[in-house]
Amino acid sequence: KAGVTQTPRYLIKTRGQQVTLSCSPISGHRSVSWYQQTPGQGLQFLFEYFSETQRNKGNFPGRFSGRQFSNSRSEMNVSTLELGDSALYLCASSKTGQGPTNEKLFFGSGTQLSVL
């Protein structure tokens, strides 16, 4: 069974540009969440999608957005990139997104974004 797939693995952009990252969850998983990992701030929750709807959002500016498609694949977009957006962006999927809230997450290897 394939795991969570994130593309691209590495990305280099310049300030002011926008970027789109992609995440394909494990087959059958309907919930996708995104996390940002930086050396300074650590791992921080960005948002979560379930059945094409954003269900939860972390404390990030509106430049960070996302969406989920009917096949559960998800994309996140960052507009007007800033140097501080350089980070590892991790996507995680879970089976149902409902029921007991102790459901474990399965993470992808992430997209390493560098903003120059």
Residues that bind other proteins (CB under 8 A): 3-4, 31, 33, 35, 42-45, 48, 55-56, 58, 88, 90, 92, 94, 97, 100-110, 112
Nearest approach, Cβ of residue 98 and other proteins (Å): 10
Measuring CA to CA, which residue among 52, 39, 48 is closest to residue 92? Answer: 48
Nearest approach, Cβ of residue 80 and other proteins (Å): 25
Measuring CA to CA, which residue among 67, 61, 65, 66 is closest to residue 82? Answer: 61
Is 101 exposed, middle or buried, given 0-12, 13-18 or 19+ CB atoms closer than 10 A?
exposed
Nearer to other proteins, 13 or 95 (CB): 95
Nearest approach, Cβ of residue 50 and other proteins (Å): 8
Nearer to other proteins, 67 or 79 (CB): 67
Neighbours of 74 (CB within 10 A): 25
Q: How far apart are CA 80 and CA 58, in angstroms?
A: 19
Nearer to other proteins, 43 or 83 (CB): 43
Nearest approach, Cβ of residue 64 and other proteins (Å): 15
Nearer to other proteins, 19 or 36 (CB): 36
What residue spans of the chain are helical by DSSP H? none
